[in-house]
Amino acid sequence: MENTTRYLDFFLGALSPAGFHGYFAQLTDEPGLTPFLIKAGPGCGKSTLMKKLAAQGTGTVERIHCSSDPDSLDGAVFWDQRTAILDATAPHTLEPACPVAVEQIVSLYHTLDRTRMQANAEPVRALFGRCSCLQKRAARYLAAAGALLLENRRLAAGVSDEGRARRYAARLAERRLPRREGPGRESVRLLSAVTPDGVLVYRNTVEALADEVIVLRDEYGAVSRVILDELRRQALERGLFVITCRCPMAPEDKIEHLLFPEVGLAVLTSNSWHPMTFHGQHNVRCSRFSDTEGLRARRHRMRFNQKAAAELLAQTSALQQEARAAHSELETYYKSAVDFARVDAILAETARAMGLAANPIG
C-alpha cells in the first residue's frame, strides 16, 4: 500500500538571545490533544523511539527537531490521531498538570543500570557541566548578534510607513483569507533556528502545506513584522487555522512566517539569513513601504551591524558544535548502561497507547 503520510519538520524551541526559548507547554495545552511526555537521560533512546513512532504515523505527522542537534528529535505530533510525544527533559522540561488523566508519562530511567552510572558519576557530571557552559557562551554571542539585528530593525522602522504596510496586509487578507464559522486556531512553531550547522530552515514544510507562496523580501524585518502581525490577526478573526512561526532571534516580538494549511497559503520572510525561493512564488519587496533616502542615510551603520552579527552567529554555531560533541560523549556513558530490550518493550506499549504500530529500536 502506498504511504500517504505527509511529514512536516519544525523546531519547537531554540537558543534565543535570552537563552533557550520554547513552545512545548503551549503544544501540550492544545484542546483535544493527548500529550505523551518522555523522560530519560541522554543516549537512552528518546530520539530513536520518537523517530520510530513518527515513521509509523499516518496522515499528517510533525517531526519536532532538536535545535542543538537537528538530526535528533525533540518530539512528534500526529495531527490525525490528535496525540503527540515530547521530550520532557531539560532544557524544555515539562511536568504534567493532570498526570495520566491528560498527560501520559513515558519514563526510561528505570532502563538504566544504576551501578554502572554511579561508577561514572564524575565524568558524567563534568560533561553535563561542559555542555551547560558551552550553551551559555553560545547564548551570549547570540544575544550580541540579536542586539545588532534589533538595532537594524529599529533603524528601518524609523523610515517605514507602518500604516501603509498594515493596510496592504488587510487588503491581502480580504483577497486570500476566506471567512469560516467558529473561532480561529493557532499553533506556534519555529521554521528556522540557529543550530550547530548554522541557520537551518525547513523549506520542505512550506512545500508540503502550501500551493501558493508569498515572499516578503525584507532584510531588516521592520515591514514584514507589521504585515505578518496584521495577517495573523485577520486570520484568527476569520476563523482560520494558522501556524505562526516566530523568529528565534526575537521570539516574543516578531513573527517570521505564517502558514495557512486550510487554504494552502504561506507568507514568508526572506533575508540573507534565510533566503526563500519556491517555484511560482509571489515576491513583495518591503522596501516599497520605506523611505528610500532615509534607508540610504543609515546604510553604512546597518551594513556594519549585519556584518558583525554574521560573525557573532558563526561563533554561536561553533560553540554549539562543541556542545554537541560534549553531549555525544555524554551519551556514550548512558548508552553503555541502557537495557535496550526494555526500551523496545516501552516503545511497543507506547505505540499501542497512541494508536500506532511500531518496530523495535534494535
Note the pLDDT tens digit of each residue in 310-326: 999 999 999 999 999 99
Please indicate, yes or no, whether residues 86 and 176 belong to a single structural domain of this protein.
no
| Chain Cα centroid distance, residue 335 | 27
Please state the domain count of the chain. 2
CA distance 27 to 186: 10
Instruction: Please state the rounded mean pLDDT for residues 74-79.
Output: 96
Query: Does residue 40 sit within a domain?
Result: yes
Residue 140 lies in a domain: no
Considering the domain boundaries, does residue 150 fall inside one? Answer: no
The residue ranges of DSSP E strands in 109-237, in sequence order, are: 185-189, 192-195, 198-201, 212-217
How far CA 301 is from CA of 42, 110, 152, 274, 298, in Å, comes to: 44, 56, 8, 21, 6
In a domain, 321, yes or no: no
Note the pLDDT of residue 359.
53
CA dihedral over 244, 248, 251, 254, signed as positive or negative: negative
pLDDT confidence of residue 362: 42
265-276 residue pLDDT tens:
999 999 999 999
Look at residue 246 and tell me if it is in a domain: yes
Enclosing domain of residue 196? 160-290
181 located within any domain: yes
Nearest to 67 by CA among 16, 115, 122: 16
323, exposed or middle or buried, with CB in 10 Å at 0-12, 13-18, 19+?
buried
Specify whether 198 is located in the same domain as 83.
no
What are 226's three cell numbers? 507589521
Per the domain annotation, does 87 fall within a domain? yes
Q: Can you give the pTM of this predicted structure?
A: 0.94
CB contact set of 10 (below 8 Å; sequence gap of 6+):
62, 63, 64, 65, 189, 190, 191, 202, 205, 245
194 and 260 co-located in one domain: yes
Give CA–CA dist 39/41, Å, rounded.
7
Q: Are residues 101 and 13 in the same domain?
A: yes
Q: Based on the fold, state whether residues 281 and 164 are members of the same structural domain.
A: yes
8 A C-beta contact, residue 131 and residue 326? yes
Q: Do residue 81 and residue 165 come from a single domain?
A: no
Of the candidates 24, 42, 21, 44, the one whose C-alpha atom is nearest the C-alpha of residue 84 is 24
Domain co-membership, 266 together with 346: no
Q: Is residue 251 part of a domain?
A: yes
